[in-house]
Amino acid sequence: MKYMLLMSATKADLRSFGTTLGPEDIRAHIKFMIDLNAELRASGELVDAQGLAPPDQTRLVRARAGGGAPVVTDGPFAEAKEFLAGYWLLDVASPERVYEIAARISGAPGRGGAPLNFAVEVSPVGVAPQV
């Protein structure tokens, strides 16, 4: 069964990577993510995973009523408390397995190796009805 895991973060979380986390902590965090993805790839469970660019690079796109050029605006992040920081698309055998993986992602190391406990949303990938 396929699942999309979405890792959320706050602006404070994003700032902490450049201010409160030192280079060693950042390297440990990135190594954790690389190792986890390698393990999931080796087990055949990883379909794709990516970290996303900072929220100031995100745009919202809406079609205009009646056609014409789309409306492109900055993301809703001025008011938002959280933003999407990264995702994993996994193909796993059970909900229990995906929850296990999501918990590992949530506990990725931060300052001094302490778990960051980021929120990780787990959504089953839907199957389109046959037409």
pLDDT at 43: 98
Task: State the residue for tokens 């995906």.
Answer: 98
Tell me what the mean pLDDT of segment 112-120 comes to.
90
What span, in angstroms and rounded, lies between the C-alpha atoms of 98 and 5?
9
Domain count, the chain: 1
Average pLDDT, the chain: 89
User: pLDDT tens across 79-114, in order?
Assistant: 667 788 899 999 999 999 999 999 999 999 998 999
Domain that holds residue 106: 2-54+85-124
61 in a structural domain: no
| Residue 6 belongs to some domain of the structure | yes
Q: Quick check: is 25 in a domain?
A: yes
Of the chain, the percentage scoring pLDDT greater than 70 comes to: 93
- Counts of helices then strands in the chain (DSSP H, E): 3, 6
The confidence band for 118, taking pLDDT boundaries of 50, 70 and 90, is confident
In a domain, 24, yes or no: yes
- Tell me the CATH number at 102: 3.30.70.1060
Tokens representing residue 87 in the block: 């995702």
Q: Which two tokens stand for residue 7?
A: 């890792």
- The verdict on residue 71 lying in a domain is no
Helix, strand, or coil (residue 121): strand
- Calculate mean pLDDT across residues 4-14: 84
Q: CA separation (Å) from 7 to 51, 60, 70, 73?
A: 9, 19, 28, 23
Give the whole-angstrom CA distance, residue 26 versus residue 16.
10
Q: Do the domain assignments include residue 76?
A: no
In a domain, 129, yes or no: no
pLDDT (0 to 100) of residue 95: 96
